[in-house]
Structure 1
């Protein structure tokens, strides 16, 4: 159990050789939930996007395909994840369409109103003080911007309980709990979509 706990806890902040394996696995294993999340997001094609907790950069690559004239920034506090995300999106970085930075969602290293879209795929489980982190997202969004959270754990079933026991510092929230944090952070309104059959939730929050 010690090794299993160490492996899965590495999903929160991938480190070392094991972290590199975890990041590669997440790029493949999270593709399905990411596709479902993207289905809730309508894009013009010229947006400035921030993907928080970008992991190995797979979702950055999806955004780059969807944006004909936009730009994508990835942020993660794991050096292993940042390294992998930069490698996956090296061509776009060289072309000036993408950047990947190491940073913390508790103090986002960006200007106020810098982004049209901010996303968080399979990551808010590990964010300390969600209302504070969400306020940081609210700050870097432009007026009319959207923050989209996609989780493969709806908080409605008991399936997540085994992961909370194994993975250190992991918290699972319902859509309503996330919406409450988002409204506390200053967002004007929220929308929630749940798929209980597949135990997943998508929440969009809009800045007035």
Structure 2
């Protein structure tokens, strides 16, 4: 005996299935749009953390950049009598590590974000009070320091946000002592291009950075690589 569905049931079930498919497509579309909007928001925050979630963004950057930050610190290997500057300090965790483990004479740091400076000051209160560290809001295009102030300048994951790379390199060259070194740590452009949040970043090839450093009289220039990360070491 062949069972038969009641009249009208097949169209009803087909209609329900079509409705479910459309609902799933709508949910996926909304989820994708929300994710894209979040990634765009995050990308803007990484450039300049501000607002009620800036503290969270600072911790997000600290955790996400931990590997490249530790590697960069090892490459720096600053001397006892050196003055060191970090451009783009975030919440100040990297400078805190340097101050805690390295006997550097003086540590300076700047960041575009006033919120990040506040967090960095809280984290490094002891070092600031002891006169070991000075932190302030600032821009790499207009470094608030005299010529030939630093033995070492370093920056991790910030060059993508410089509105004028040549101006930034010129300013760093100005504040470095003769023989001083610049360390620029970045992630390979091909890797960065795969991230949704980097769509508005000014991604740049290693070779282009080398060329610009040479134009600003940095010599010699050495490249260090660890996985997808690069550190460009340039001497004034």
TM-score of the two chains, using structure 2 as the length reference = 0.80
1:187 counterpart residue number: 218
> Which entry has the higher C-alpha Rg, 1 or 2?
2
| Whole-angstrom CA distance in 2 between matches of 1:125 and 1:175 | 12
Instruction: Give how far 1:17 is off.
Output: 1.4
Measured against aligned partners, the alpha-carbon deviations of 1:11-43 in whole angstroms (never above 9, x if no partner) come to: 010010122210122122211111111222232
Measured against aligned partners, the alpha-carbon deviations of 1:137-170 in whole angstroms (never above 9, x if no partner) come to: 000001110000111x122xx321133x534641
| Whole-angstrom CA distance in 1 between matches of 2:70 and 2:177 | 25
| Whole-angstrom CA distance in 2 between matches of 1:8 and 1:27 | 15
Gaps spanning 5+ residues in structure 2: where?
1-35
Change (3 A) 1:69 1:106: closer
Residue 230 of structure 2, aligned match among 192, 201, 206: 201
Residue 156 of structure 2, aligned match among 121, 126, 131: 121
Q: Which moved more, 1:35-44 or 1:165-174?
A: 165-174
Gaps spanning 5+ residues in structure 1: where?
none
| Whole-angstrom CA distance in 2 between matches of 1:63 and 1:138 | 22
Matches within 5 A, 1:2-17: 2-17=37-52
Measured against aligned partners, the alpha-carbon deviations of 1:80-116 in whole angstroms (never above 9, x if no partner) come to: 1111111111100011100111011111110000111
1:82 counterpart residue number: 117
Residue 166 of structure 1, aligned match among 193, 197, 200: 197
Aligned length: 201
2:53 counterpart residue number: 18
Instruction: Give how far 1:177 is off.
Output: 1.5
- Which structure is higher in helix share? 2
